[in-house]
Structures are given as C-alpha cells and as structure tokens.
Structure 1
Amino acid sequence: MKLLLTLPLFALLSFSNVQAQTAPAAPTKSTSAAAPATAQFKTSAVCDMCKTRIEKSMAYEKGVQSAVLDVPTQMLTVTYRPEKTNPAALRSAVQKTGYDADDQVADARAYNRLPDCCKKTNAVH
C-alpha cells in the first residue's frame, strides 16, 4: 500500500525536476557599467598618517574603487564608479575626514580630532 502512495508522489517530483532543468534560462540583465572615472583633489595632508587615514576613509565610500594620495604633492587621486558617486560627494568625504579638498575647508570637528602631526599648520615631514 505504501508503494502505491509513494509511486505517484515520486513520479510527480521527478517530472517537476525535469521541467525545471529543461526550462529556458531567463535572459540575463546586461551589466553595461559605465567606465570608471577619476577625480583629483588637492588636500591638506602632510604625512604618511594622513595618507593612511584618507585612503582608508575613501575605501568606505560607496562607488570608490581606489584612492591614492601622493604626500609630497598632496594630490589625492580617486577612481570611482560614476553611477554610484560623484566628485562633490568624494570632496565632501575628504572634508569629513578632517582635510581640505581643493578650495573647500575641512570639517572643523573632524580637523580638531586629527593628531597634531596631521594638522595643516604643521610643517611637512
């Protein structure tokens, strides 16, 4: 009796599994992502601690693929996805880290939390 009850159930499961395997694949969504863009900002960074701090904070920003700060020139180069962020948002992120970004002054509260060696009044070292 058990065999008679399980046989139709087994046949039904097998049939549905075959249909699932032979069903046409759904069209995949084409991800024609825009090419990465690059932005450069003049910062007030003065040391390697600044470099580490800025690059790390930029890594947490949405859409940022890479951020590299050249300490001697104080230039931050950011590669980002334009559909996720824009230069204004990136500039604001630099300011919120405590550093100037181009002609825009750093967030005062973030700047005050920087170590003394990272303050822009300190000589470059």
Structure 2
Amino acid sequence: MKTLLSFLAALCLLLPASGAFAQGTPAKTGKGTAQVQVKTSAVCDMCKARLEKSLAYEKGVQAAVLDVPSQMLTVTFRPDKTTPEALRTAVQRTGYDADTQPADARAYDRLPECCKKTNAVH
C-alpha cells in the first residue's frame, strides 16, 4: 500500500511538469537553455539515430532525444544561438515531418525504406 501511495504521489508531481514542454513552445530550463518538442514522422530506431545525430550538428543544440513510440523529438538548445523554427527546418532537411510541416521531399526520398511514413510503426 505504501508503494502505491508513493507512486501516486510521484505521479502527481510529474504530471504538471509534463505540460511545461507544450509542442512547439520553447520552455525555459534554466542556465540559458530552452526545450522544444517537435512531433516527427519517425518510425524506428534508425530514425532515432539519424535525427539525434543530425540535430547534434545544429548550432546551439545541447541535446536531442527522440521517443520513438510517441514520435516526439525533445531538443534542448540555447535560444541565443538558434530558434524552434530553425530546429524544425533541420528536422525537415533530415527527411522527417516537423509538427505540421512536411519533410523535404529530396531528403525523404533518401531515407531507407524502413524509415518511410508509409511503413507501419515498428
């Protein structure tokens, strides 16, 4: 019973924090950084590796983590170096949709077949 109560108490603390990273709206994280979440069309672990590596080369990006099941890319960045719009453009140039913006057609065509939107989520 104590375990269940501890779990519920922890859950109550975490749920309000999850709203701080609303899709497309950068959230200040302190120390001069912000976070933004971008809904992508990524479907597999190869997509995860490709997106995270691609974003790592973007100026001002400190971390990029893709949650494959939810297709949400969380990017921690320095707002004085880049913007959420520039990060979405980087996702599109990698071949994936970024929120409501479609992927760059040429980049999408270069993706492996398993990473195409037409395939079922793995």
Deviating above 2 A after TM superposition, structure 1's stretches of 4 or more consecutive aligned residues are: none
3-state DSSP of counterpart to 1:92: helix
Matched, 1:85 2:113: no
Contact 1:65 1:81 survives alignment (8 Å): yes
Instruction: Tell me which structure has the larger Cα radius of gyration.
Output: 1
1:109 aligns with one of 106, 110, 114 = 106
Separation in structure 2 between the aligned mates of residue 94 and residue 34 of structure 1, nearest angstrom:
25
Identity %: 76
Matched, 1:73 2:70: yes
Q: Which runs of 5+ in 2 are unaligned?
A: 1-29
Match of 1:94 in 2: 91
Separation in structure 1 between the aligned mates of residue 120 and residue 63 of structure 2, nearest angstrom:
27
Separation in structure 2 between the aligned mates of residue 83 and residue 34 of structure 1, nearest angstrom:
12
TM-score by length of 2: 0.75
Contact 1:45 1:118 survives alignment (8 Å): yes
Separation in structure 1 between the aligned mates of residue 64 and residue 106 of structure 2, nearest angstrom:
23
One-letter amino acid matched to 1:63: G
After superposition, what is the alpha-carbon deviation per residue over 1:32-66, rounded to whole angstroms, capped at 9, x for unaligned?
x9620000000000000000000000000000000
After superposition, what is the alpha-carbon deviation per residue over 1:62-119, rounded to whole angstroms, capped at 9, x for unaligned?
0000000000000000000000000000000000000000000000000000000000
Once the two structures are superposed, the pairs formed by residues 27-46 of structure 1 within 5 Å of their partners are 35-46=32-43
One-letter amino acid matched to 1:115: P
CA RMSD of superposed structures (Å): 1.2
